[in-house]
Chain A
């Protein structure tokens, strides 16, 4: 246990070192960047609120990846599931239900249902037609993107003008509510924690969770034990889609307050990066989402203060993930850990 923590810290330090070197090569001062990122993410209560809001969205997409990872499959369709979730939320917000007091609650459920539906399609392609989940998921991502463009310029276009700028704003009743005057994203965080607890419970305490993990560990063996792995793959994708869909509905009702073509903000794909580090560990998803969200939100400050390109947060994150994976796979971290512990004795 203790050794494991040291090993993680060593991997993190090595990865930060690599990121720093890359930033240095890119002709910038890493220290200034880190400082601006920190100020940008936590400098005042508004920035912190924003950071927490993005954390909740990224954690949901990360969790959506971990579920299918536990059955041994990729959920590249996450981006589409986020988009479908946003469509589901918009559908409710634009209907008569959009004016109800409980509208925000219904939009989240509707987002989950829409996202879950797209997850189900991924599962059907995978299990029924044996389509590789990478290609199936990617295809569904772009189909969802096409559907949003169609909706925004077609049936849901703004009064009079069809533009890709988005639909009309939702009625305010359906916006993700705040408490008092603060912007603190209390409800998105609540959704994140509820989903997190439910998933943790599902994976560790229920027989469904056990069978999901069994499917991921050895598909042939589970088939022999008469666990129908096809069903569990489908469950995993539906749950993942629903979780991703909730992220999409938060984007729609909590950030944009309307449907826009790029409503996912790319957080679906960033969720994949998060899950690559987290593996099957749910706690790590929360932690990494928080760090990555800080980098994303802090990145705005990078542009304002240092006049740097908006691509820096992505560069930092992807370099971090690559060096994390390489450090892990090459066992450098274990070797250093062993060295440290041997020296203690």
Chain B
């Protein structure tokens, strides 16, 4: 295999957990729910996915368990937010600490033990694409579905009626409600769907990219994913570009490890200044309606923060 092919495969493979996590969080935030527990959710679902795989000897059951747990955590956040009007940020933040520490405790007996791997599957037709086909579409189910997820989620969010409803709930719940959309139900469904994807992202770490379990197995990846969601302007395609860009930097860091000291320590921090920069750009562009900024740059850099993001919706009367 030529080296650039190997590099592409490494980047696409390494990025697959973050693709799931970023798209899951994007969907959740688009409907107005900030799942701030992502850092903790990734850790506990990575553990759950691996543990279920060990117990059942099937990585597929592991993926399902991790997804269900991720969805369950999102369900908890949404229900607490609806029923008790507890701030999403507060509950997400506490869950981050709780799930992170729970994963350290519950994972003790799973540290560095071997287990079954996911099978390699070949996607017909697509694997015949020159250059990238044979390497990317001849991989395991997580890598392959992470690639399909990008256009699918974009199409769903921006080109279908359901996606429009979803976004309108995140932009202006009151008017969505007035148009007959059930705000609570919509938020519940898509926040849970987002949580399921984040959970699968956790499993993609422990069953695939960083096989196995160790304490703090996915540490900081949740925060990084949160930053990339914003850097991606709440758009699955741009978010994924961010993820692959970050993956490329990771590969670069691995190769430079012997040359420079400390780059691998600084690397995980790179998404955060970019996140702040994106937010600043979005807001200043919104101030002057994006005038004077070429359209192509607007598409690449700007984006709209869902206006009702993180805001508890309470129906009047």
| Chain A interface residues (CB < 8 Å from chain B) | 26, 74, 76, 125, 129-132, 134-136, 138-143, 145-146, 149-150, 153-154, 162, 164, 261, 269-270, 272-273, 276, 309-312, 314-315, 317-319, 321-322, 325-326, 329-330
Name the residue on B nearest A134 (C-beta): B89
Q: Which residues from B are CB-within-8-Å of A125?
A: 276, 279-280
Bound complex: CA A261 to CA B269 (Å): 13
Q: Which residues from A are CB-within-8-Å of B227?
A: 135, 138-139, 142
Bound complex: CA A195 to CA B216 (Å): 35
Binary flags per residue of B93-116, CB closer than 8 Å to A gives 1, else 0? 111011011101100100000000
Is there contact, CB below 8 Å, between B86 and A325? yes
Is there contact, CB below 8 Å, between A135 and B279? yes
**Chain B 271-298 residues near chain A, CB threshold 8 A:** 272-273, 275-276, 279-280, 283-284
Name the residue on A nearest B80 (C-beta): A326
Is there contact, CB below 8 Å, between B283 and A131? yes
Chain B nearest CB: distance from A308 CB in Å? 8
Question: Which of B94, B280, B305, B309 interacts with A321 by CB under 8 Å?
Answer: B94
Question: Which of B85, B266, B276 interacts with A146 by CB under 8 Å?
Answer: B266
Q: Which residues from A are CB-within-8-Å of B108?
A: 309
Q: Does B63 contact A (CB under 8 A)?
A: no
Is there contact, CB below 8 Å, between A142 and B223? yes
Q: Which residues from B are CB-within-8-Å of A146?
A: 266, 269, 272
A-B contact pairs, 7 of them (CB 8 A): A132-B305, A138-B226, A149-B265, A153-B265, A162-B261, A309-B105, A329-B85
Q: Which residues from A are CB-within-8-Å of B203?
A: none
Bound complex: CA A198 to CA B34 (Å): 35
Bound complex: CA A139 to CA B230 (Å): 11
Question: Which of B36, B95, B98, B269 interacts with A145 by CB under 8 Å?
Answer: B269
Name the residue on B nearest A273 (C-beta): B94
Chain B nearest CB: distance from A56 CB in Å? 21
Binary flags per residue of B247-279, CB closer than 8 Å to A gives 1, else 0? 000000000000001100110110011011001
Bound complex: CA A230 to CA B51 (Å): 50
Chain B nearest CB: distance from A334 CB in Å? 13
Is there contact, CB below 8 Å, between B101 and A314? yes
In order of increasing CB-CB distance, the 8 nearest A-B pairs are A329-B84, A311-B101, A146-B269, A318-B98, A314-B101, A142-B272, A139-B276, A131-B279
Q: Which residues from A are CB-within-8-Å of B309?
A: 132
Q: Which residues from B are CB-within-8-Å of A150?
A: 262, 266
Is there contact, CB below 8 Å, between B101 and A329? no
Chain B residues touching A, range? 35 or more
Beyond A149-B265, A153-B261, A315-B102, whether A272 also contacts B93 by CB under 8 A is yes
Q: Which residues from B are CB-within-8-Å of A74?
A: 89
Chain B nearest CB: distance from A95 CB in Å? 24
Bound complex: CA A270 to CA B98 (Å): 11
Is there contact, CB below 8 Å, between B269 and A135? no
Question: Which of A135, A143, A314 interacts with B97 by CB under 8 Å?
Answer: A314
Is there contact, CB below 8 Å, between A138 and B223? yes
Q: Does B91 contact A (CB under 8 A)?
A: yes
Bound complex: CA A310 to CA B90 (Å): 24
Bound complex: CA A140 to CA B223 (Å): 12
Q: Does B310 contact A (CB under 8 A)?
A: yes
| Chain B interface residues (CB < 8 Å from chain A) | 34, 36, 80, 83-86, 89-91, 93-95, 97-98, 100-102, 104-105, 108, 223, 226-227, 230, 261-262, 265-266, 268-269, 272-273, 275-276, 279-280, 283-284, 305, 309-310
Name the residue on B nearest A145 (C-beta): B269
Bound complex: CA A318 to CA B91 (Å): 10
Is there contact, CB below 8 Å, between B104 and A309? yes
Q: Which residues from B are CB-within-8-Å of A261?
A: 265
Name the residue on A nearest B230 (C-beta): A135
Bound complex: CA A118 to CA B265 (Å): 22
Q: Which residues from B are CB-within-8-Å of A273?
A: 94, 97
Name the residue on B nearest A275 (C-beta): B90
Is there contact, CB below 8 Å, between B280 and A129? yes
Beyond A129-B283, A325-B86, A329-B86, whether A276 also contacts B266 by CB under 8 A is no
Chain A nearest CB: distance from B3 CB in Å? 30
Is there contact, CB below 8 Å, between A276 and B276? no
Name the residue on B nearest A141 (C-beta): B272
Name the residue on A nearest B224 (C-beta): A142
Chain A nearest CB: distance from B124 CB in Å? 43
Is there contact, CB below 8 Å, between A26 and B269? no
Q: Which residues from B are CB-within-8-Å of A139?
A: 227, 272-273, 275-276
Is there contact, CB below 8 Å, between A319 and B98? yes
Q: Which residues from A are CB-within-8-Å of B262?
A: 149-150, 153-154, 162, 164
Q: Which residues from B are CB-within-8-Å of A135?
A: 226-227, 230, 275-276, 279
Beyond A162-B261, A312-B105, A325-B90, whether A143 also contacts B280 by CB under 8 A is no
Q: Which residues from A are CB-within-8-Å of B95?
A: 318, 322
Chain B nearest CB: distance from A86 CB in Å? 17
Is there contact, CB below 8 Å, between A149 and B266? yes
Bound complex: CA A276 to CA B272 (Å): 25
Other CB < 8 Å A-B pairs besides A135-B275, A142-B272, 16 of them?
A: A135-B227, A136-B279, A139-B276, A140-B276, A141-B272, A149-B265, A150-B262, A164-B262, A269-B97, A311-B105, A314-B100, A315-B101, A318-B95, A322-B91, A326-B86, A329-B84
Q: Which residues from A are CB-within-8-Å of B269?
A: 142-143, 145-146, 149
Bound complex: CA A154 to CA B94 (Å): 34
Beyond A136-B276, A138-B272, A162-B262, whether A314 also contacts B98 by CB under 8 A is yes
Bound complex: CA A77 to CA B108 (Å): 31
Q: Which residues from A are CB-within-8-Å of B310?
A: 132, 134
Name the residue on A nearest B220 (C-beta): A142
